Amino acid sequence: MDTLREAVNETMTLEVTPDKMLAVVSFKPSLGDGKQLGIDEIKKQIHDKGIVYGLDENVLNDIESNRQMEFKYIIARGMVPQKGDDAKSLFHFDVENFNKVQPKENEDGTVDFKSLNIVHNVNKGQVLYEKVPATEGIEGMNVFGEVVRAVKGKDIRLPRGKNVDLLEDGKTLVAGISGRLCYDKHNIYIAPLLVIEKDVDSSTGNVEFVGSILINGSVKNGFKVKATGNIEIHGSVEAAHLEAEGDISVWYGIQGIDKGTVKTNGNLVAKFIQNASVEATGNVVAEAIMHSQVAASNVYVEKGKGLIVGGQIIASHYITATTMGSSMATQTDLQIGIPPHVMNEFKQIEKKYFTLSEELSKIGQSVNFLTTKQARGELPPDKLELLRKLLITRQQTQSTHRELSSRYKELSESIQDATGGQIKVKNILHSGVKVTMGSLVKYIFEDVTYCTVKRSGADIVIGGY
C-alpha cells in the first residue's frame, strides 16, 4: 500500500555571527514533489536579509551546482578592521647603556678612566628624541555593508623633562640648553654643566653647583665640590670632600690622607682610593682600594692591581678583587649582605626612635601630673588647655613612635639575618682578613687562592672561584 507523502519545498536557513563578520547558509532537502531552490531565489533571500558585502561567488557557484544538505556554507565574509600601530619612541642616544659605568679596558688589563665619559654633553638644539606617531588603522566592513571602525594605535607620552624643548611638529624633543644629558627611564632632561678649566684650590674656593661639574684639573687638600648632578675630575683628589647626587669619576685617583670624603647617590669610578672615606648608593669601581672606608652596593676591584688592603669595605651584594689583604697580614675588614642604605636608615631611625622615647616619657610625666591635679579639682583653666594639647601631642607622638618601632625592629632583624652576597677573590685572599655577614664573623688565618666566600646557613664558607 502506497503512502502519500506531502510535498515539502527545499528551504534555506541563513545565520549571521554576532560580530556580523560571517554569513552562513544551510539547506534542508525537499520532500515528495517539493521544489528545489534555484540560485536566483537563493541570492534573493540572501539580499533580502541585507547581506551585501563580501559575498563569495565561488561558494555560491558550488551551492548552485552541487550543494550538500545540512552543510553550513560561509557565503559572505566581512573585512576585519586593522588596528593602528602603537606610537614608538626613537631615542637619539644609547638608552640601554646610558647609566652603565663601563670604563674602557686597555690591552694590558688596566682601565682607561679618561675614556669613561660619565658626563654626556649635548648642545642647545640637538635632537634627543622623536616620537613615531600612532596610526589610525584601517576600517573594516561587515556583511551588511556597515563600516566597522578601526582601533587607533596607543599613543605614548613624550619623555620631556626640564630644559628640553618640543618642536612645532609635536613629536621631536631637542635640548633647550647646552649641558649634561640625563635620562631616568621616564624623562629626558638637561642639567647645566659647570666647567672648571683648572684645579679647585684657593683660586676657586669651594665649588657648589646645581647641575654637573667637569673639572679639568685636580681637587686640592681641604676643598669641597658639591653637585646635584655628576662630578667628573680629570686629575686627582687630595684630602678633599666630594658630594654628588649623580655619579663621580676621578681619572687619577683619590689620596684622602685620612681626611678626604666622597659621597654619591650614584656610582664612583676612580683609578685608586687610598686613605679616604667613601659612601656610594651605586657601585664603586677602582684598580686599588687601600686603607679606606668604603660602603656601596657593589665593589669591583678587578683591573690593574685589583688590590683591596686595609680599612673596611661594606657592600650589599658583591666585593670582587684580584687580591684581598697582604702578605703582611694587614687587617682588612670586609662586610657583605648589609646594604649601606639599610645601615644608614637603621642609624637614623635608631636615633629618632630613642629621641621620641625620651619625649614620650617626659610628656607622660606631665600628663600624669596634670591629670592628678584635675581629679582633685585643682587644675586652673590655662593648665586644662595645656593638658588638652599634651594629650593630642602624645597621641601623635605615640603613632610616630609605633611606626618607628616597627621599622626599627624590621631593620634590626634584616641586619642580623643578612644572608645575601658574595666575596670573590681572583688570586689571593690573605690571612688577616676579617669577613662579616650579618651576625656571623670569620677570620682568615691562612692564605686562600681563587675562592668565593659566602654565607651558608649558620656558617661562612669558602669555596672555589
CA 175 to chain centre: 24
The number of C-alpha atoms within 13 Å of 307 and in the hemisphere containing its C-beta is 16
Please name which of 258, 221, 263 lies closest in space to residue 238, comparing C-alpha atoms. 221
d(Cα 101, Cα 251) in Å, to the nearest integer? Answer: 14
Query: How much is the pLDDT for 380?
Result: 86
Residue 268's contacts (CB-CB under 8 Å, 6 or more residues apart) are 247, 248, 249, 250, 262, 278, 280, 282, 283, 284, 285, 286, 296
> Which residues, given as ranges, of the chain have pLDDT below 50?
1-3, 114
Query: How much is the pLDDT for 211?
Result: 82
Residue 375's contacts (CB-CB under 8 Å, 6 or more residues apart) are none
Query: How much is the pLDDT for 449?
Result: 95
Joined grid coordinates for residue 373: 591635679
DSSP letter at 446 equals S
Neighbours of 294 (CB within 10 A): 25
Please name which of 243, 99, 277, 254 lies closest in space to residue 185, comparing C-alpha atoms. 99
- Alpha helices (H) in 119-230, listed in sequence order: none
d(Cα 324, Cα 335) in Å, to the nearest integer? Answer: 13
Residue with the three cell numbers 647641575: 211
Joined grid coordinates for residue 20: 556580523
How many angstroms separate the Cα of 401 from the Cα of each of 52, 342, 347, 404, 408?
75, 19, 15, 5, 10
Tell me the helix, strand and coil percentages in the chain, rounded to 5. 20, 40, 40
d(Cα 250, Cα 434) in Å, to the nearest integer? Answer: 29
d(Cα 383, Cα 215) in Å, to the nearest integer? Answer: 62
Residues in the chain, how many? 465
d(Cα 337, Cα 420) in Å, to the nearest integer? Answer: 5
Residue with the three cell numbers 670569620: 442
The residues with which 111 forms a beta bridge, in sequence order, are 105
Query: How much is the pLDDT for 3?
Result: 46
Q: Is the CB of residue 173 less than 8 Å from the CB of residue 159?
A: yes
Q: Is the CB of residue 124 less than 8 Å from the CB of residue 180?
A: no
Can you list the positions of beta strands (E) in 17-151? Answer: 22-28, 73-77, 88-91, 104-105, 111-112, 121-122, 127-132, 140-141, 147-148
- Global pTM? 0.56
